[in-house]
Amino acid sequence: MQNDFRTPDEVAAMDDVGSPTPDTLTPTTPSPSPTPAPDTPKTGKLAAMWQKLDLHWPPGRKEYLVAAGVILVLGGVTAFALTRDSKPVPKPVVKKMVKKPVVPKTVPSTLTGLQIDPSVNLRPVTGIMIENSQDARPQSGLSEAGVVFEAIAEGGITRFLTLFQDTAPEDIGPIRSARPYYISWLMAFDAGYAHVGGSPEALANIKALGVRDLDQFANAGSYHRVNSRAAPHNVYTSIAALNQLETAKGYGTSTFTGFVRKKVVPAKKTSSIKPAAAAPAPTARTIDLSISGPVYGVHYDYNAPTNSYNRSEGGAPHIDVNGNRVISPTVVVGLVVPFSIASDGRHSVYQVVGSGAAYVFQDGNVTIGTWTKPGDKNQITFTDATGKPLGLNPGQTWITAVSDASKVTYAP
């Protein structure tokens, strides 16, 4: 088989003479060949491969195509070599940010047991003397007090010591004078005491016991008088004004032990197959507390939907001007306290330090137990017939002092 292979020199020579065929080439004396280009295949395996592929030099279209193919193959081999041992790159995991609902964190109020923001317990407790003569009715702010103590001031006329911390009414009154037994109840709450003067013994006790005194006589700017009532039944204030006064006097957080309160447990869901057990029938739907006479006699009706007691006195619903609503405490306590009249023949004397019978009304029922108060600065505690602490429902607690157990009556 005839070998058609031509060296680049021979190809170049043929190009110079019009590409003659091998049979027409005229022998000439060989001249020294120029030094071949570095990539010119002359000998060895490269020349054989060049010959086998029928490639020519200088490269034409065919040679460029072959070169391109070689480059593609080499590129593929190189890519395989670089990636065969590498692990696949995982796709980045994008976590969705889910905003959790903000649940307000609350704690029980030291004063009322109701759930509150923790900062509320850092406020001072503020005690305010509110009058209950017929000229003072209806009062403002009574329904918003956390704890209320009720007793006779003088002449059979009752008066209220109201304690505030969870709430801040803008109008409270009318405000009257201090008495010693109210001071003893107040001291257990480390509370400021808002009053308009007081009996000689009360004013002496305020100084001797170190009471946080907010007397209107010395702090008139924190009180105001209304035109709708005649003096002395027209002195009013607000919690904001008294808190400002307490801050100015350096009265900070009240440090005290509150009443023992029940823990409120959410009601469990009952099965539709097995009905829930019926609650025991109330034993005390109505309550009557006899204090000094019909005008100051207290009556309560149990309000099952609100689990509270709608209050009446003098035969009429007891209304708070703030909101024009009936006063309805969650817990009512009849406190049996020894009572007498002072040597002046006017002022009341209650032995509030000591112990006695306590009638605790809540949930439509009554528990007869014992109250105990070791000293002026000690808190009242309530125990049941076995001596165990008696927990009170969270909410407003209204405590009325009566002279003996016969003054407390109730019916289912």
> Is the domain of 220 the same as that of 323?
yes
146 and 60, same structural domain? Answer: no
Q: Are residues 180 and 120 in the same domain?
A: yes
- Cα–Cα distance for residue pair 139/341, rounded to 1 Å: 27
Do 382 and 254 lie in one domain? The reply is yes
Angle subtended at Cα 221 by Cα 219 and Cα 223, rounded to the nearest 5 degrees? 85
Specify whether 75 is located in the same domain as 126: no
What is the tens place of the pLDDT at every residue in 280-336? 788 999 999 999 999 999 999 999 999 999 999 999 999 999 999 999 999 999 999
217 shares a domain with 164: yes
pLDDT tens-place string over residues 30-39: 444 444 444 4
Beta strands 192-194 and 126-131 are parallel
DSSP β-bridge partners for residue 354:
373
Q: Count how many domains the chain has.
A: 2
Of the candidates 81, 100, 123, which is a domain's last residue? 81
Residue linked to tokens 């027209």: 234
CATH number for the domain including 336?
3.50.90.10
The reply to whether 64 and 158 lie within a common domain is no
Residue 300 is assigned to a structural domain of this protein: yes
Whether 10 is covered by a domain: the verdict is no
Angstrom distance (rounded) from CA 192 to CA 197: 14
Assessment of whether the complete model's pTM goes beyond 0.85: no
Residue 38, domain member (yes or no): no
Ranges of H-type helices in 53-147: 61-83
| 61 and 197 fall within a common domain | no
What percent of the chain clears pLDDT 70, i.e. is strictly above it?
72
Residue with structure tokens 């000689």?
A: 200
Whether residue 155 sits in one domain with residue 72? no
- What residue numbers bound the domain in which 194 lies? 108-267+280-411
Tens-place pLDDT, residues 209-234: 999 999 999 999 999 999 999 999 99
- Give helix 200-208 / helix 180-187 axis angle, nearest 10°: 30
Residue 96 lies in a domain: no
> Is 243 inside a domain boundary?
yes
Tell me whether residue 186 is exposed, middle or buried, using C-beta atoms within 10 angstroms of its C-beta: 0 to 12, 13 to 18, 19 or more: buried
Residue 336: name the closest of 353, 313, 359 by CA: 359
